[in-house]
Amino acid sequence: MRRSERIALISKTLSENPNKIISLNHFGQWLGAAKSSISEDLDIIKNAYKVSGQGELTTLPGAAGGVRYRTKRSAKQINAFLEDLCNTLQDPKRIIPGGYLYMTDIIFSPEYSGTIGEIFAQLFIDDEPTHVLTVETKGIPIALMTARALNVPMVVARRDSRVTEGPSVGISYVSGSGQKIHNMSLAKRALPENSRVLIVDDFMKAGGTARGMRELVAEFKAQVVGTAMVVTTAEPEKKLVEDFTTLLILEDIDTGKGQIEISINDKLMS
């Protein structure tokens, strides 16, 4: 097999298995090449990723070592994506009666949700999450893409427990905006004790649901390492959760004028 063919296959394998350590022996046996040749191939791929800003390749020494690919975009690339997302969401046609913002097509788009998930993974990779948690239903695509980029399991908190998932742990929490009591449950076997959990959701107003997920994680004797939102409203300024990361801030929806004011979180990359 020619080097160009090996490089194409190695790159495809690495990008399809982010944050997973793959041994050089695996590539050598699969592609019928010496380890020294695979190392040279990886140097070329590593340099290409670095120059293009499409990812980061790390070689880990030792018997259990290998090579690992992680998504890593520059601040400029992330900002360009978020600007495009802002422009898309500011379309007046997205205003729903009652002053709501239609986001479902964005959230369920593989292109948008995939990139958002990779950004969240890049922001929280150093916190070493072992699980990604969301609540049904619209947060699922974003959480799944984040879990894929981190190469960890995704778990979903349900509004109602399901008999098909076995015994579950449930809590009641108060929504921050409507001050209504809601229920949330998670199967006992879904989250091991001492897990490191990254909470992901599509939208946050007052933070009641996010706080509910944090309380649910505590019931499993696990640790929340971060809370990530796609869009958070500017008001109320004080949320029920203090430590969270949001990509975009919804400043205002003027139904009379048909205007949506949404901006990039300028503290995101700091």
Burial class for 163, CB neighbours closer than 10 Å (0-12, 13-18, 19+) = exposed
CA 88 centroid distance within chain: 20
Enumerate the domain spans of the chain: 3-70, 75-264
| Rounded Cα–Cα distance for residues 116 and 62 (Å) | 33
> Which range has the worst mean pLDDT, 40-44, 175-179, 181-185?
175-179
Give residue-wise pLDDT tens across range 62-121: 776 799 999 999 999 999 999 999 999 999 999 999 889 999 999 999 999 999 999 999
Give the CATH number of domain 3-70; options: 2.140.10.10, 1.10.230.10, 1.10.10.10, 3.50.4.10.
1.10.10.10
**Closest to 84 measured CA to CA, from 112, 123, 107, 53:** 112
Fold of 75-264: Rossmann fold (3.40.50)
pLDDT band at 12 (very low <50, low <70, confident <90, very high): very high
**Average pLDDT value over all residues in the chain:** 94
3-state secondary structure 210-270: HHHHHHHHHHCCCEEEEEEEEEEECCCCCCCCCCCEEEEEEEEEECCCCEEEEEECCCCCC
